[in-house]
Amino acid sequence: MNESFKPVLIFHVGASAGFFSEYNCMILAMLYCIQHRIQFKIYSIDANFGYEKGWTDFFEPFCEEEQAAWHHRFNARPCGSWKVILRTKNFRLFKWKLKRMIYDGLIKFWQCFHPGLFLTQDIWEKALSREARSRVYDIPELGIHGDIIEACHVLVEITWRYRADVRKQIYDYIATYRNYSTFLSCQIRAGDKYIECDLLPVETYVEKLVDYLEIKDVFVLTDDYAVMCQLQARFPYWHWHTFCEKEENGYVHTEFKTCSKKMKREQLLRFFASIEMIHLSDRFIGTITSNPSIFSFFRHPEKTIFVERDAEPFRLFGG
C-alpha cells in the first residue's frame, strides 16, 4: 500500500531528540502519510541512536530508506518557536534557528522543481496537531477504525521488530537479571527532563501501585539510581528492580550524543531491555510527559496507566 502512493515523504529519524521522541513522532508522520496517501520513506544513516547504519542497527527495515547525504543538513524537525528561544535566551538554538531559515528557503526553491517530494518539516505541525490527535481514523487496509491510539498501535506492531541478533541479546540480558514472573513496571525520569517539565515525586507513582498490592515486584525504568534509593528506603513493601547502574545520576541527551559507538550501542541495548521488561509486566505506570510512557501506551493501551488524571490522547505530545 505504501509503495503505491505517488507523492513521497522522506522522514529524518534520529535527527536531534531522544530515541522515543524521534520514534513516536515518526509513527505520527507515518499515520499522516497513510491518511493523505503519501509514500513514507526514512533517512537514518546519521541517526543519533545509530552506530553504523541507523535504523537497521537495531531493527528490521519496514520501508525504503533514503541514502542521500544532503538530508543530514536540510531535512529536519522544527527547532522551536522564536517566542520560546527568546524567553529561554538559548543562543545555540538561536543560531540554529537562523540556519534553519536559510536552509528552509533553499529547500522551498528546490521543491518548486520537485513538487511531489516532502521532507520532515513540511508535515511536522500537521502530523502532531491537535486535530490529528482527536480525529477518528478509518484505514481498512490495515484494519484500523478508531482513535489515534488504535491507529498508532497498529503502526507500532508493523515497525517495532528487532533484528534477530539484537532481540537475542536483549532477552539474554533480561534472563540474567530477572528472577520473578508476575510484576508491575513504571518509568521515573530524571536527568535533563526537568528542562521540559517539572519532575514528578516518587509518591505520585506509588499512589497508583497501591491498587495492585497483591503484586510485590516492581521493575523501574529510570536514569538516576537515586530514585531507586528513595523507593527502597521509603517503600520497603515492594521489591524494587532496575537495570539502572548505581553510578548513573540522570540521562542527558547532549552527553549521550558524544558517546563512542560501542558505548552508545551498549546503553541502547540495556535501554531496550528495560522497554521489554515493561512489555512483559502486568501493568505499567507512566506519565504523558515522557515519550517511553507514550510508546508503552501505543504498544499496550490496555495495561498502561498514566499518573495524570486528564491523560486523554489529545494531550499527548504536549498539546
The CATH number of residue 312's host domain is 3.40.50.11350
Dihedral sign of CA atoms 5, 7, 12, 17 in order: negative
Contact between residue 10 and residue 69 where contact means Cβ atoms under 8 Å apart: no
Within this chain, do residues 150 and 176 fall inside the same structural domain, yes or no?
Answer: no
Contact 34, 139 (CB under 8 A): yes
User: Which pLDDT band holds residue 228 (cuts at 50, 70, 90)?
Assistant: very high
* 85 and 99 part of one domain: yes
> What's the longest Cα–Cα distance across the chain?
65
139, 159, 179 — which closes off a domain? 159
Q: CB of 253 within 8 A of CB of 273?
A: no
**In terms of domains, do 57 and 110 share one?**
yes
User: pLDDT grade, residue 312 (50/70/90)?
Assistant: low
Is the domain of 179 the same as that of 115? no
Q: Which of 125, 159, 193 is the last residue of a domain?
A: 159
Q: What is the pLDDT of residues 72-117, one digit of tens each?
A: 989 988 766 656 666 767 766 666 667 777 877 788 877 888 888 9
Q: For position 94, what pLDDT does the model report?
A: 67
Strand stretches in 108-230, DSSP E: 117-119, 137-139, 144-146, 184-188, 217-222
Domain boundary among 159, 177, 209: 159
Name all contacts of 206-211 with Cβ < 8 Å and 24+ positions apart.
206/231, 206/235, 207/307, 208/285, 208/305, 208/307, 209/184, 209/238, 209/285
pLDDT for res 308: 86
Is 70 found in the same domain as 216? no
Q: Which domain holds residue 209?
A: 164-318
The domain total for the chain is 2
Domain identity same for 142 and 197: no
* 75 and 106, same domain (yes or no): yes
Mean pLDDT lowest among 144-153, 242-251, 305-314 = 305-314
| DSSP conformation class of 257 | T
Same structural domain for residues 134 and 180? Answer: no
Handedness of CA 20, 26, 30, 35 (dihedral sign): positive
Q: How many C-beta atoms surround the C-beta of residue 10 within 10 A?
A: 20
Q: Sort residue 287 into left (φ over 0), alpha (ψ -120 to 50) or beta.
A: beta
Is the domain of 184 the same as that of 277? yes
| Tens-place pLDDT, residues 4-55 | 999 999 999 999 888 999 999 999 999 999 999 999 999 999 999 988 999 9
State how far the Cα of 157 lies from the Cα of 142, in Å rounded to an integer: 11
Same domain, 181 and 129: no
Same domain, 105 and 235: no
Answer yes or no: do 150 and 197 share one domain.
no
Q: CB under 8 Å to 192, separation ≥6 — which residues?
A: 250, 251, 252, 253, 254
pLDDT of residue 109: 79
Grid coordinates representing 124 are: 511536522
Q: Does residue 191 surpass a pLDDT of 70?
A: no
Q: For the segment 132-165, what is each residue's pLDDT rounded down to a tens digit?
A: 988 999 999 999 999 999 999 999 999 999 999 9
Cell numbers that stand for 251 in this block: 540521562
pLDDT at residue 184 is higher than 60: yes
Query: pTM of the prediction?
Result: 0.88
